[in-house]
Chains A and B, each alone.
Chain A
């Protein structure tokens, strides 16, 4: 069950990245026809980020303690000291930026170049930071794995 929670966290994070990437491409090709879809997927992006945050947060608060102990005693202590510490705090800014995406999507994206540029910046930051979060998660998992391998 613990692993299922962790995998669901990673899956929701990946879906969040895909949704943000979808918004980026859709804004590049914005028209009256796809405007409702951009706003809908922007809301979905925020929902996916909140879901990933809550599930990951639950796992972190309830289940991460023992794993942290293994990692710190293993050959990759930086998996916690740098990657987890950075991930658990950067994700809060990412959550706010994802929440801001549907707010920015309420502007006149068809008529305003500035509104489109803002959306593109937000979506790009969400994708790039999201990929960084996924990568950090992989390193943290590997840090636990190498700690438990027989030496």
Chain B
């Protein structure tokens, strides 16, 4: 996307925010549905929440670096406006999945 005014790091890590937010929310659902997963995550560190946070940071950094290096170092080939929509939408979707789930089951 030669017309983009956003640098590769912004494009890569921006998409990573959206992806990781949704993945994290889906992990919440998986933990609530599977007590064995909670136990497994608790065994990895001192608390399942700590493991969850570490997992999110690793996914965010790894996906962000990979996407930033993609497309010959230019970052994902997505229009700038679309990228903003994905970042905002992905973050909000993650929040809605989590809040909606606990609103229904809490």
Contact = CB atoms under 8 A, between A and B. Distances in A.
Q: Do A and B come from one complex?
A: yes
Interface of A: 53, 57, 60-61, 78, 81-82, 85-86, 88-90, 92-93, 95-97, 99-100, 103-104, 106-108, 111-112, 114-115, 117-118, 121-122, 125, 129
Interface in B76-106: 80-81, 83-84, 87-88, 91-92, 94-95, 98-99, 102-103, 106
B14 A100 contact: yes
Nearest to A53: B53
A92 B50 CA distance: 10
Nearest to B52: A92
A89 B25 CA distance: 8
19 contacts: A53-B53, A57-B50, A61-B50, A85-B106, A86-B102, A90-B98, A92-B24, A93-B17, A93-B21, A95-B53, A96-B16, A96-B20, A104-B14, A108-B5, A111-B5, A114-B5, A118-B80, A125-B88, A129-B95
Give the secondary structure class of A's interface.
helix
B66 interface: no
B88 to A, nearest CB: 5
Contacts of A106: 7, 9-10
B85 to A, nearest CB: 9
Contact of A104 (B10, B25, B92): B10
B46 interface: yes
A107 B13 CA distance: 13
Given A96-B21, A100-B14, A106-B7, A85 B102 contact: yes
Contacts of A95: 53, 56-57
A121 B98 contact: no
A13 B22 CA distance: 23
Give the 10 A-B residue pairs with the shortest CB-CB distance, closest first: A81-B106, A112-B5, A82-B106, A93-B21, A114-B80, A85-B102, A61-B47, A89-B98, A93-B94, A92-B56
